[in-house]
Amino acid sequence: MPFTFKKSALADVVIIEPKVFLDGRGFFTERYKASEFVEHGIKTVFTQVNQSRSQKHVLRGLHYQLNPKAQDKLMIVLRGEIFDVVVDIRKGSPTYGRWIGEHLSESNKKMLYVPCGFAHGFCVLSDEAEIMYYCSNEYAPDLERSILWNDPAINIIWPVSQPLLSSKDICGQLMHDADNNFVYEKGAF
């Protein structure tokens, strides 16, 4: 089995560790294999792949898209290191408003599966980081939303106190004011 699937403290968010084959030439690893993901409850069909590069202390997030264009995401760091954060925004969820953070890097090769109903963001820890993420729906700018990265109700402990932010992220909404059409369904995953 080329993957280890670990449940996180937030139901449905999964940390995935691929098996890495190293030799004198470099390494080989599988990043996605539908049959194994399905076997572990991840039935997502990915329809768009994005890649971004950011410099140290850039913080992107907390982003999500509303239904019917909500996106499951599979986050992969190709170069550098990030602190990846996921916030449960599903109304009625027992973990509503809670967050987890995971270090993803080119060296640990961990991946993070973020299903619909969770806001997502990351902060770059290395001099530069390059991230690739698979999405289950295409980008729909009219349905994109952003929660304020430092919302005191969520109280994320970011590894940087003065991040570099886009104008969109500076103007994010507080979670309790944000447009949100996600409702928790027990056993949906």
Catalytic residue of the set 64, 113, 133, 134 = 133
63 among known catalytic residues: yes
57 among known catalytic residues: no
Assigned domain for 167 exists: yes
Check residue 2 and give its pLDDT: 85
- Among left, alpha and beta (phi > 0; psi -120 to 50; other), residue 59 is beta
Assigned domain for 147 exists: yes
Assigned domain for 18 exists: no
Domain hosting 138: range is 45-177
Q: Do 99 and 13 form a contact (C-beta atoms < 8 A)?
A: no
Assigned domain for 140 exists: yes
Check residue 11 and give its pLDDT: 85
Assigned domain for 14 exists: no
Q: Do 57 and 159 form a contact (C-beta atoms < 8 A)?
A: no
Residues 6+ apart with CB under 8 A from 35: none
Assigned domain for 157 exists: yes
CATH number, domain with residue 146:
2.60.120.10
Per-residue pLDDT of the chain (189 residues; tens, 9 = 90+): 689 999 999 989 999 999 999 999 999 999 999 999 999 999 999 999 999 999 999 999 999 999 999 999 999 999 999 999 999 999 999 999 999 999 999 999 999 999 999 999 999 999 999 999 999 999 999 999 999 999 999 999 999 999 999 999 999 999 999 999 999 987 655
**Per the structure, how many domains does the chain have?**
1
3-state secondary structure of 38: helix
Check residue 186 and give its pLDDT: 79
Assigned domain for 185 exists: no
Assigned domain for 30 exists: no
Catalytic residue of the set 63, 64, 113, 134 = 63
